[in-house]
Amino acid sequence: MRLRNAAVAAVSAIGLVLAVPGSALAATGQFRYTFRNSDGYELVGFMNNPVSGRCINLPGADDDLPPAYAPENATNSPAVVFVGTDCQGPDWLLAAGRGGSDRLKLRSVGFL
């Protein structure tokens, strides 16, 4: 009887664990960058708690405009910034809590 109760409890626990949705992996904090809009005005873009493990094309940094620059990774996760959209082209690893210079250009980013 005890073995049967233990088996029921174990199966119930596994079912409970599988039924509770897990949280999506995300870097905690904010990622900021500077870009120029089509009128030439300098703007600051940002992402709060960006999703990890996925390529993110920067809004306002499309191929028709100059690339964004001066990224600041104020998250708890390293970021890889790419010169091209869709995480293509040369890349640079930007450690958590670090910023890049105005010379560091980017159009997309991924968080590790």
pLDDT tens digit string along 95-108?
Answer: 999 999 999 999 99
pLDDT tens digit string along 22-63?
Answer: 445 889 999 999 999 889 999 999 999 999 999 999 986 667
Give me the CATH code for the 29-111 domain, please: 2.60.20.10
Handedness of CA 51, 32, 93, 75 (dihedral sign): negative
Q: With H, G, I as helix, E, B as strand and everything else as coil, classify residue 2.
A: helix
Structure tokens at 66: 């100059």
Q: With H, G, I as helix, E, B as strand and everything else as coil, classify residue 62.
A: coil
pTM attached to this predicted model = 0.75
